[in-house]
Structure 1
Amino acid sequence: MELTANTVSAREVSSSATEPAGPTTGCAMQAVRAQRWGDNRQNPEHQMGRIHAVVAANQQNALHLFPTQPHYQKVGTSDWLKKNTFEKLLNSTEDVLQELQGSTQSCHQELIGQLQQEMTVEYVRRLLKGEVKLKDKDCQLKAYETVKENAERLHELFARMGSKQDWLKEILTKIAEVLKLQDIPAIQMQIVSLGSAYPDLSEKHVSALLKLKTNISKADRKIVKTTLSDTLKESRADPGTRKFFSKVKVR
């Protein structure tokens, strides 16, 4: 399905405008006002308002606006490492982002930033499903290069479209470093760095990430997870710390 501003149904807008889920944002209020002004489907601001209303009402599922799910199926698989599947994901994403041009700057930036975060969450979730097995140093180096390049390309695309969420690139870069490192002490340091920056990183996330590296033993995985747990217990969480991994569901 290709997204256009008319894809969003009037029923969805009506529901989100009258009973918004969560705090009402400026973009959601703009959507409510746009609806009250009349159903002028040729008005770009009205069209954007309809999209913003749905996103504001269901921020945790903003990714459903993208026709990119088929391309995501390749992320974290052996095909993802062998073929240029991420390029197709970027192309389809850019097509959607182009459709979202035309809102006020603040609302556009908010929407683009939210979509970038949802895409990054989905990327990490797919990776941690463990469908790809990195059996040796060469495979792990290839995965490092792939994730690092994907992080750069995703950041470049969203920055060009107006997003200011630079921190999302850092998460993927830190994950890539874990895939590359071979020494357990070095992996411990990288995991601690990631957990210190994002305290919602759990032992389940770490276990799923390390299981991708099949040459790491269960005992070594436990050592790394214990190090993270001890570090998080000793440190006080900053109330202003961003949450990311709590949105990444792992088994």
Structure 2
Amino acid sequence: MRGLQTTFNADTKELENVLTDVTMSFRKEVLDKLKQKTQPLFKKILTSAWMLNSEILDSIMSTTVQFCQHLKHLEQPVDKDFLGDAHKYVVREYITQAIKPRKRLKRAKREKVGKKMNEEATVIHNSFKDLGSDADWLSSAIHHIANIISEKKRHKIKEYIEEMCQAYPDVRKEHIEAVLTLRGLYRNKKKSIIRKTDKLQENAESVADRTLFAEIDTPTVITCF
């Protein structure tokens, strides 16, 4: 910093402001390009094409890893912050697509979807861990949803929802309703489960800088049952 200060005849505060602006601009550019490349792929999550092979997530992670290589040029903790942003983006977009309104899944398909989501959640976690991400708190989000979708027993579904609410205090009942709709539960059963989790959400304590579901738009669930 002192060398730059001497060369450009500027005080430290001015240089810090310039470096911050450049860093934030670079950060936005990298993340924006990552989004442009991966959004069409995320839209295929839970489609028939997604069910048939692993190429969709492979492409998402391959693109993400490629973009994250640029972060190696940054010093800590800036590189960790950027990596955390990319990690949360992938998890957030995966969940956003997974809980979008769609036809209820039949039992056999629910089990396959849950199994595949759990496998892919592990791939996402391991890929970012290899890159150096320390955002371990993101790792269980997709697993919770996958377990709810594939679970047969109602009391176990309630337990999984309680675990998700404890791990992610910013999850809202609209998110839960969307997952339960995908699971195939009808309105009365959904209301019964959601009602029992309302108090748990009220008592949950948010953790600073750990928002995930708050950044996921709640889908409009339309049902006639």
CA contact (8 A) 1:201 1:245 kept: yes
Please name the residue that 1:4 is paired with: none
Please name the residue that 1:229 is paired with: 198
Q: Segments of 4+ in structure 1 off by > 6 A?
A: none
CA contact (8 A) 2:150 2:183 kept: no
In structure 2, distance between residues paired with 1:90 and 1:132: 27
Please name the residue that 2:145 is paired with: 175
CA contact (8 A) 2:105 2:183 kept: yes
CA contact (8 A) 1:68 1:92 kept: yes
CA spacing shift, 1:83–1:236, aligned 2, 3 Å: closer
Shift of 1:182: 1.2
Match for 1:217 among 149, 170, 186? Answer: 186
In structure 1, distance between residues paired with 2:112 and 2:122: 15
CA contact (8 A) 1:133 1:212 kept: yes
Match for 1:244 among 196, 209, 212? Answer: 212
Residues 29-108 of structure 1 mapped to structure 2, 5 A cutoff:
32-33=18-19, 50=22, 52-54=23-25, 63-66=31-34, 67-84=37-54, 85-108=56-79
CA spacing shift, 1:202–1:108, aligned 2, 3 Å: same
Shift of 1:165: 0.6
In structure 2, distance between residues paired with 1:101 and 1:73: 29
CA contact (8 A) 1:77 1:132 kept: no
Q: Determine what percentage of the aligned residue pairs are the same residue.
A: 22
Please name the residue that 2:12 is paired with: none
Residues 131-170 of structure 1 mapped to structure 2, 5 A cutoff:
131=102, 133-136=104-107, 138-170=108-140
CA contact (8 A) 1:195 1:201 kept: yes
Structure 2: which 5+ runs fail to align? 1-14, 220-225
Please name the residue that 1:119 is paired with: 90
Shift of 1:176: 1.3
If the length of structure 2 is used for normalisation, what is the TM-score? 0.80
CA contact (8 A) 2:45 2:98 kept: yes
In structure 2, distance between residues paired with 1:53 and 1:209: 35
Q: How many residues align?
A: 202
Q: Quick check: 75-84 or 223-232, which moved more? A: 75-84
Deviations 1:95-117 (A, max 9, x none): 21123321113211110111111
CA contact (8 A) 2:165 2:204 kept: no
CA spacing shift, 1:143–1:98, aligned 2, 3 Å: same
Please name the residue that 1:15 is paired with: none
If the length of structure 1 is used for normalisation, what is the TM-score? 0.72
CA contact (8 A) 2:30 2:67 kept: no
Structure 1: which 5+ runs fail to align? 1-28, 36-49
Shift of 1:32: 2.1
CA contact (8 A) 2:148 2:183 kept: no
Deviations 1:37-89 (A, max 9, x none): xxxxxxxxxxxxx4x31376x6xx97423021121111132322222221111
In structure 1, distance between residues paired with 2:169 and 2:51: 29
Q: 2:18 corresponds to which letter in structure 1?
A: V
